[in-house]
Structures are given as structure tokens and as C-alpha cells.
């Protein structure tokens, strides 16, 4: 069930008055009567105690008790009966106030009175009379010995009658005040709810899409403040509706030459400006802002604005714009605005805390200034327009970037496929390899070639330069290696032929360094040649190590004679658990924030730091040491490493 505000107010007032009258009834009637009832009980208790302290039972002097209680009865009109019982519960003395007893026949004999006293003491009275009779009982004692008890019954009829009269009076007053409060609350609630009803009707109209609503408060209380807030909300909704409409129009096109005039005209009409000019910072214009919405013949009337850092800071600090004539002289000079020029509002257009453009709103003839609210609304629109114009300028650039990104992703995937998908499986040896490009694609390369059942080719190479061009040479190198490894078994001969092929196909500013070797599996022997590449690191079982650097120059630097005369071929016998580490200069030349290089010393320390001879743990130790050394600095060159370890038990 729906209960309106007026009904709630009336019910609340009624409940409040009811609670107040109930509290008054309790504190000023019921509580007072209860206090008097307790006082009467206390008095009767003292009478019973006085009788009990006569201590005559030990002399069996019942007549004395009888005379005493008969005299007490004469002075205590509210006492109904007094009874004295011995220790066996036998009634020995009693007196009865016949004026307070309603009996169906006269009370003539003492026996009849004694019988009535016993019945009263046992609570044998009419049901409606039970609240009017109370009893106090006190033992008669001598030391710890109980000789009997004194029972005194007394009437509280007068107290109960007074209590009932007080309750009836308070109920009557309560009903009167409840009716009075209901009448007053009806009048007050009507005055309170009428403005709310008008506001409710206006809100329903707004809910149906009619934003041309306005309430007119007639008071100065909180409800009037609510009405003013409603009017402010409606104005905000109108502004939001305009912003949404403008946003829809701005999102309909990414063509800058269509967006700029649209922004100028829509913002001009939004705040009622006389005219509007739009200045945008052109790319690579070093701070110059150009008016982009005027025709070519009027360009000379609005020269570019040279905005330096100090002026830009001043503009960005005034997010809601400023009246141009209120600006300092140096700001007006930077804006090419003289005191005699037309007055207006200059609105900055920031994008990501940078000044993207400026809007100038000329004052119409019927205005002397724009209000703070109009300026704030213009700032919101300018921010929205700035984002749309910035997006349109970035659109083509983003499309180009996306195209390049897709091409680089394709190139990266193709380059990844040029590297080994898994390490070779050879009895007696273990292999590990890793290649991390500093950019999307890189020029580092490693591979394995299964020459026959007893020979495995191992190559690592580094193309000079980085990025896309290096990756193209790397792909070309892969194809040549696949062809030449099937023809040449000798590393020296293969590199010589590879150099002759590359020299005619590689740019003169580029070259390739390489180590290529052949692992003779049964003989545990590795034969290799080095073409200007980094040294080959050999790690022994007891910490012995050796950097091997045979003579040789890079591939593609010489047609052939000099290259072949410098090139050497070296053979190594591998003992159990000896490891060969091939690496590119991106590993040893990696730098940290202090511009220190990891170096061959860092590589060697990380190899010798672990006590295990496991090649995988050695690789992880090298990478962990490298990343810890770089301290989060991104690598500036590709990082590639190949590891070959002979298995077996050391002799």
C-alpha cells in the first residue's frame, strides 16, 4: 500500500502525541499511585512488626494479643483483618473490620469471623476484589525460634479508585490532544506538500522528455531551496542535452576541414556570442597557433599567435577562460589584441594538460560580459571540441601507425619462426638458447643444423644496427645458412663463401658478426670459426674458464681476400660438464641507470655463482644477474645467448 507524505506526517504527529500522553500518564498518575501503594504497604508492615515484637506467645497470653490488635483496628481504618497464628498454624487471635467486608449474612459469632479471616488470608475473595486486598506477614521470633506469625490484610480500594480516575482523565485528555494534533498536522502538511506536489508534477514532465520546466518557490525555506536546485538541475540537463547533441555531430566525421567550422558555429550559438574565432596549434609550428576557419583572403587579418611557455601557463591556469581586456599587457600582446579591439571571452582548449587551441567569443552588442556560468559551459564545450579536433588530426597518423604495427607484428612472427622452435636432442649433450629483441624485431640470430648423425652445426650472429633493417638481413642470413650448411662441412670454408655472397647484397654501412661451429658428437669435439663476433666462453668443471677469440673480421666488410686471410679455425675437446657459451654484444653491453656495463666479468660471475652444473640453472642465473644489474632499465640492444654442455660423469 502506497502512503503519501501528508498521511505519514499526520500519522507521525498522532503517534508522537500518543507517546507523550502515555508518558505523562505513567509519570504523573501510575507512578505516583504506585508510590502511595508502596507507602501503605510499608506502614502495614510496621504495624505487623510491632505486633510481632510483643513476644507474648511464650506465655500463651492470647487475650493480651487480642486486646492489642482490637485497639489497633480502631485506629487503622484501611486494615481489613489482623490474624495471629502459633507455630503450628492455629489461629490464636484475630480481629476483622466488618465495614470493609461484603458478606451474604450478618457476622455474629467469633467463629464466623475467624472463618472469614482464614478465608481472606488464603485469598478466598471475589475475583474483582483481589487487586483491592494486600497482605503483610511477619514472623514472631525469639532468637532463632519461630513462635508464630502476624498476618495483616489491608485495603487499597481508595488508591485503586484514584488510579482509575487518573487513567480515565489522561485518556480523555490524550484523545483531545490527538484530535487537536491531527487537525493541526493536516493544516501544516497541506502547506508543506503543495510545493512538493508542484515539484513532483514538473519532475514527471521532465521524465517524459519536457525540459522546459521551471518551478517558482513562494517561500524561503528548505523546500524553496529544493525548487531552486530543481531549476539548476534542469538547466544542467539542457546543457547536457546540448553537449550530447554536439558530441554526436562531432563524432559523425573525422575530416578536420568539416569539424573546425562546425565547432565554431555550434559553440557560437551555445553561449550567444557575436562572432567566434578558432586558433589551433599546428604540428611542428613551435608554439604558433593559426586561425583555421577564415578564408585565405582574410588570413592576413588574423596572424599566427606566438605562445611561449609563460603565456601558455597563464592560459592553462584559467580553465574557464577570461575576458581578454582583463589580461595583463604581455598576454594581450601575445594574443595580438589591442585595448581598442572588440571585447570578448578567450577560452583555452587543453588536451592532456597541454594547450591545443584557443577560442575567442566576441561579445554581442547587448552584453557587457559573459557570466561565470556561461564561461563554465563554454569551457566544457571547448574541451569536448578540442578532443574531437585532436582526434581528427591524429586519425591519419594513428591509421599509419596501426598499419606499421601490423606489419611489424607480422615481421616479428616471421622472425620468431626463423629461430629454433625447440632445442636439439643429442645423446651426451644439452643445449639452451634465448633471443630477446630490444624492439619489435631485431638482428640477432642463432640456429642449429643437423648435418648428419654425428655432426651438428651451431651458429650465432649479430647484424649491425637494430630494428626492421637488421631483421631483413637476419632473414636473408637464415636462407643462406640453410643452403651453405648442406654444402660445406668446414666452418672456415662456410664463412668464406657466406662473406662472398653477403658482400654483394648488404649495404656498405652494415655488416654481420658470427660464430659458426660444428659439433663432432662421437669425438666430443667442437670446431669453429669466428667472423668478428664476441668471444666464445668455455666453462670448466672446477671453475676453469677461457674466453676464446680466434682471429676474424665481420661478414660483408671485405670482398674475400682480406676476410679469408684473417679467418682462423679452432678445435676444442669437451670434457664432461664443460659448457660453451655463445653470446651477442647486447648481453655484455647491457647498461644500468648508472651507465655501467654488465660486461664479460658479470657474465662470468653469474656462471660461476651457482654450484650446480645444470645448464638450465646456469642460464637462469645469467638472466637473473643481468636483470638485477639493469635495475629495470630497458635493454638498448638485442640479447641472444646459446649454451652447449657435454653431459656425463667427471673422471
Between residues 325 and 181, the one the model is more confident about: 325
Question: Any idea what the Cα angle at residue 642 is, between residues 640 and 647, rounded to 5°?
Answer: 160
Q: Which of 436, 417, 428 is nearest to 456 (CA)?
A: 428
Question: Any idea what the Cα angle at residue 500 is, between residues 496 and 506, rounded to 5°?
Answer: 125
- Cell numbers for 313: 601557463
Please give the pLDDT value at position 650. Answer: 46
Strand order in the sheet with 276-281: 305-306, 288-291, 276-281, 354-362, 344-351, 322-323
Other C-beta atoms lying within 10 Å of the C-beta of residue 146: 13
Please give the pLDDT value at position 249. Answer: 76
Please give the pLDDT value at position 651. Answer: 42
Q: What is the pLDDT of residues 184-200, one digit of tens each?
A: 777 776 666 677 667 67
Indicate yes or no: pTM above 0.85: no
Dihedrals phi, psi of 320, to nearest 5 degrees = -95, 20
Q: Return d(Cα 615, Cα 636) in angstroms, integer.
A: 26
Q: What are the C-alpha distances in Å from 389 to residues 282, 299, 346? A: 12, 20, 18
Task: Report long-range pairs for 101-104 (Cβ below 8 Å, ≥24 apart).
Answer: none
Look at residue 202 and tell me whether its pLDDT is greater than 80.
no
Establish how many alpha carbons lie within 13 A of residue 444's alpha carbon, considering only the half-sphere containing its beta carbon.
23
- Cell numbers for 329: 599587457
Question: Any idea what the Cα angle at residue 184 is, between residues 179 and 186, rounded to 5°?
Answer: 95
Fold entry, domain 419-646 = Phosphatase 2c; domain 1 (3.60.40)
Fold entry, domain 253-396 = Beta-Lactamase (3.30.450)
Residues in the chain: 651
Handedness of CA 115, 118, 122, 128 (dihedral sign): positive
Query: What are the start-end ranges of the H helices in 252-359?
Result: 256-271, 309-317, 329-334
| 163: CB partners within 8 A, 6+ apart | 29, 30, 33
| 152: CB partners within 8 A, 6+ apart | 44, 47, 48, 51, 79, 81, 82, 83, 135, 136, 137
279 close to 389: Cβ distance less than 8 angstroms: no
Residue 520's DSSP bridge partners are 455, 525
Look at residue 60 and tell me whether its pLDDT is greater than 60.
no
Look at residue 516 and tell me whether its pLDDT is greater than 50.
yes
Please give the pLDDT value at position 157. Answer: 78
Domain locations along the chain: 5-161, 211-249, 253-396, 419-646
Fold entry, domain 5-161 = Beta-Lactamase (3.30.450)
Cα dihedral 553, 556, 557, 563, rounded to 10, equals 50
Q: What is the pLDDT of residues 484-500, one digit of tens each?
A: 999 999 999 999 999 99
Most confident of 197-211, 464-478, 517-531, 533-547: 517-531
Q: What is the pLDDT of residues 437-479, one digit of tens each?
A: 777 666 788 999 999 999 999 999 998 876 667 777 888 888 8
Please give the pLDDT value at position 269. Answer: 83
- Could you tell me the pLDDT band of residue 295, with boundaries at 50, 70 and 90? confident
Domains 5-161 and 253-396 share a fold: yes
385 close to 348: Cβ distance less than 8 angstroms: no
Please give the pLDDT value at position 57. Answer: 47
User: Three-state SS for 528?
Assistant: strand
Amino acid at each position: 500500500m502506497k502512503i503519501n507524505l501528508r498521511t505519514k506526517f499526520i500519522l507521525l504527529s498522532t503517534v508522537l502525541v500518543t507517546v507523550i500522553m502515555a508518558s505523562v500518564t505513567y509519570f504523573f498518575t501510575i507512578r505516583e499511585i504506585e508510590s502511595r501503594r508502596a507507602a501503605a504497604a510499608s506502614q502495614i508492615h510496621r504495624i505487623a512488626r510491632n505486633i510481632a515484637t510483643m513476644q507474648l506467645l511464650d506465655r500463651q497470653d492470647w487475650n493480651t494479643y487480642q486486646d492489642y490488635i482490637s485497639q489497633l483496628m480502631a485506629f487503622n481504618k484501611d486494615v481489613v483483618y489482623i490474624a495471629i497464628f502459633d507455630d503450628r498454624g492455629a489461629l490464636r487471635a484475630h480481629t476483622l473490620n466488618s465495614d470493609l467486608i461484603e458478606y451474604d449474612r450478618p457476622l455474629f459469632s467469633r467463629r464466623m469471623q475467624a472463618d472469614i479471616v482464614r478465608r481472606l488470608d488464603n485469598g478466598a475473595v471475589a475475583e474483582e476484589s483481589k487487586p483491592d486486598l494486600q497482605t503483610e506477614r511477619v514472623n514472631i521470633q525469639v532468637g532463632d525460634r519461630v513462635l508464630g506469625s502476624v498476618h495483616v490484610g489491608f485495603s487499597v480500594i481508595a488508591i485503586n479508585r484514584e488510579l482509575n480516575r487518573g487513567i480515565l482523565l489522561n485518556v480523555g485528555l490524550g484523545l483531545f490532544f490527538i484530535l487537536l494534533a491531527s487537525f493541526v498536522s493536516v493544516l501544516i502538511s497541506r502547506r508543506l506538500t503543495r510545493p512538493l506536489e508542484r515539484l513532483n508534477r514538473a519532475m514527471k514532465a521532465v521524465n517524459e522528455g519536457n525540459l522546459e520546466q521551471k518551478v517558482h518557490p513562494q517561500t524561503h525555506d528548505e523546500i524553496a531551496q529544493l525548487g531552486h536546485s530543481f531549476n539548476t538541475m534542469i538547466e544542467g540537463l539542457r546543457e547536457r542535452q546540448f553537449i550530447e547533441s554536439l558530441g554526436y555531430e562531432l563524432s559523425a566525421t573525422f575530416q578536420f576541414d568539416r569539424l573546425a567550422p562546425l565547432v565554431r558555429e555550434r559553440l557560437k550559438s551555445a553561449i550567444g556570442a557575436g562572432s567566434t574565432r578558432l586558433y589551433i596549434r599546428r604540428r611542428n609550428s613551435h608554439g604558433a597557433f593559426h586561425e583555421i576557419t577564415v578564408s585565405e583572403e582574410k588570413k592576413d587579418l588574423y596572424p599566427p599567435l606566438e605562445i611561449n611557455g609563460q603565456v601558455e601557463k597563464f592560459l592553462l591556469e584559467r580553465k574557464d577562460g577570461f575576458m581578454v581586456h582583463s589580461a595583463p599587457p604581455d598576454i594581450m600582446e601575445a594574443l595580438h589584441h589591442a585595448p581598442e579591439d572588440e571585447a570578448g571571452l578567450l577560452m583555452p582548449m587543453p588536451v592532456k594538460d597541454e594547450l591545443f587551441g584557443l577560442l575567442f567569443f566576441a561579445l554581442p552588442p547587448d552584453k557587457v560580459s559573459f557570466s561565470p556560468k556561461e564561461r563554465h559551459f563554454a569551457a566544457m564545450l571547448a574541451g569536448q571540441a578540442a578532443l574531437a579536433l585532436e582526434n581528427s588530426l591524429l586519425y591519419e597518423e594513428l591509421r599509419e601507425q596501426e598499419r606499421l604495427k601490423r606489419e611489424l607484428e607480422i615481421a616479428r612472427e616471421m622472425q620468431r619462426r626463423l629461430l629454433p622452435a625447440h632445442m636439439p636432442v643429442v645423446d651426451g649433450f644439452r643445449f639452451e638458447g634465448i633471443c630477446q629483441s630490444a624492439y619489435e624485431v631485431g638482428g640477432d640470430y642463432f640456429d642449429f643444423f643437423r648435418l648428419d648423425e654425428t655432426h651438428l652445426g651451431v651458429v650465432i650472429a649479430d647484424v649491425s644496427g637494430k630494428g626492421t633493417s637488421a631483421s631483413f638481413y637476419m632473414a636473408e642470413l637464415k636462407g643462406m645458412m640453410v643452403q651453405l650448411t648442406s654444402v660445406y662441412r668446414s666452418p672456415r670454408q662456410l664463412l668464406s663463401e657466406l662473406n662472398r655472397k653477403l658482400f654483394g647484397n648488404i649495404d656498405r654501412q652494415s655488416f654481420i658478426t658470427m660464430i659458426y661451429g660444428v659439433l663432432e658428437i662421437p669425438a666430443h669435439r667442437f670446431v669453429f670459426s669466428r667472423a668478428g663476433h664476441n668471444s666464445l666462453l668455455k666453462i670448466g668443471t672446477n671453475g676453469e674458464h677461457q674466453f676464446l677469440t680466434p682471429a676474424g673480421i665481420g661478414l660483408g666488410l671485405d670482398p674475400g681476400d682480406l676476410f679469408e686471410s684473417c679467418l682462423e679455425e679452432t678445435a676444442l675437446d669437451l670434457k664432461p660438464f664443460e659448457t660453451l657459451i655463445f653470446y651477442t654484444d647486447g648481453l655484455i653491453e647491457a647498461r644500468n641507470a648508472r651507465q655501467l656495463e654488465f660486461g664479460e666479468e658479470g657474465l662470468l660471475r653469474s656462471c660461476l655463482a651457482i654450484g650446480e652444473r645444470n645448464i638450465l640453472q646456469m642460464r637462469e642465473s645469467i638472466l637473473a644477474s643481468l636483470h638485477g644489474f639493469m635495475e629495470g632499465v630497458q635493454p638498448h640492444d638485442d640479447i641472444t645467448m646459446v649454451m652447449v654442455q657435454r653431459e656425463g660423469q667427471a673422471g
